[in-house]
């Protein structure tokens, strides 16, 4: 499992969070790309069954480092964690990893949060105050860009209690549902970064069999991500209504129109990329569509 980073390898290793907010959705996404694994007893390394892609189950914060040292080839991690580590590289140094794809889950914000009792003007005057965070590089950069002279206090966890303990005046932390802030009588003010789960990979291309494996995986991933909200829409109508109906379906891709035998009616089917709501179906019905059917799209290979 610990081949040196420079070695030629014939399998790809993807690191994902072992437990936490991103763990389950990351696994589900990989499964929908057709990946499956043999569960190992230690639950740290899972050998890929259906594809030569193995799983490494780790702490999310470790993923950028594992990518940098070549212990894993790809990783699913929060953009916040990835960018924090990338910002830690000095000027002139290029981080060896980068974001390959946004994955559309695990949405959260890295935000400043102040005690609820603070007034807006108090929350806007940060010079000379202490900000506790686990994201010192991102916060320092944000402060610098705005010319704010605040002190950054780096904490590795339990950032939200720092104001109550007196170790900082305010915090900058990840806000997802907002429950943690509310439980600690804090309120979010400025957003430093909008984040979500991303696929991270190396900056340099793979020089061995991993290039082809990663390419196959990316094609599947793009298909899965592209289909997320897609639906197959089917209905019948009089041929005369088709132009008006198509105007209601700007997101329909290459619709198929079939003549219904011996009538001037047509059956139409199209993949719609946007959400097909009840409202849209009712609009179509009013414009002359009937026998409307909306089906999930499981796979598509263009
Ligand atoms: C963040 C943050 C808070 C919590 C906020 O941790 O540090 O503890 O999530 O979520 P809420 O707004 O839904 O209450 P994260 O998920 O990044 O976990 P980690 O720091 O343990 O990796
Ligand atoms: Zn973490």
**74 and 86 Cβ atoms separated by less than 8 Å:** no
Distance CA 78, CA 14 (A): 14
Cα(176) to centroid(ligand 1), Å:
7
**Digitized pLDDT (tens) for each residue of the chain, 302 residues in all:** 444 455 688 999 999 999 999 999 999 999 999 999 987 777 799 999 999 999 999 999 999 999 999 999 999 999 999 999 999 888 889 999 999 999 999 999 999 999 999 999 999 999 999 999 999 999 999 999 999 999 999 999 999 999 999 999 999 999 999 999 999 999 999 999 999 999 999 999 999 999 999 999 999 999 999 888 789 999 999 999 999 999 999 888 889 999 998 899 999 999 998 788 899 999 999 999 999 999 988 888 77
Q: Is the CB of 176 under 6 A from ligand 1?
A: yes
Q: Is the CB of 183 under 6 A from ligand 1?
A: no
Q: Is the CB of 59 under 6 A from ligand 1?
A: no
Nearest ligand 1 atom, CA 182: 14
β-bridge mates for residue 202, sequence order: 97
Rg of the Cα atoms in the chain: 25
Strand 12-17 and strand 74-78: the pairing is parallel
The residue ranges of DSSP E strands in 63-216, in sequence order, are 74-78, 97-102, 108-115, 130-133, 151-154, 170-175, 186-195, 197-202
């Amino acid at each position: 499992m610990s081949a040196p980073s420079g070695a030629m390898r014939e399998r790809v290793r993807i690191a994902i969070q072992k437990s936490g907010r991103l763990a389950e959705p990351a696994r589900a996404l990989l499964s929908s790309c057709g990946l499956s694994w043999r569960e190992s007893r230690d639950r740290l390394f899972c050998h890929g069954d259906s594809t030569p892609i193995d799983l490494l189950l780790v702490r999310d914060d470790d993923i950028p480092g594992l990518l940098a040292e070549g212990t894993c080839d790809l990783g699913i991690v929060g953009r916040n964690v990835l960018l924090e580590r990338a910002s830690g590289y000095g000027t002139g140094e290029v981080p060896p990893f980068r974001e390959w794809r946004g994955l559309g889950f695990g949405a959260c914000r890295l935000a400043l949060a102040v005690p609820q009792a603070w007034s807006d003007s108090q929350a806007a005057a940060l010079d000379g105050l202490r900000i506790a965070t686990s994201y010192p590089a991102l916060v320092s950069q944000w402060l610098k860009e705005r010319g704010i002279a605040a002190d950054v206090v780096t904490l590795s966890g339990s950032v939200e209690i720092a104001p109550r303990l007196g170790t900082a005046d305010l915090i900058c932390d990840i806000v997802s549902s907002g429950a943690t802030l509310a439980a600690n009588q804090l309120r979010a003010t400025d957003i430093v970064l909008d984040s979500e789960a991303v696929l991270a990979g190396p900056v340099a291309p793979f020089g061995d069999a991993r290039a082809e494996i990663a390419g196959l995986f990316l094609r599947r991933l793009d298909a899965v991500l592209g289909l997320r909200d897609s639906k197959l829409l089917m209905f019948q109508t009089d041929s005369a209504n088709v132009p008006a109906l198509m105007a209601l379906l700007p997101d329909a891709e290459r619709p198929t129109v079939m003549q219904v035998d011996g009538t001037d009616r047509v059956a139409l089917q199209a993949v719609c990329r946007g959400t097909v709501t009840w409202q849209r179906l009712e609009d179509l019905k009013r414009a002359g569509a009937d026998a409307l059917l909306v089906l999930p799209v499981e796979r598509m290979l263009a």
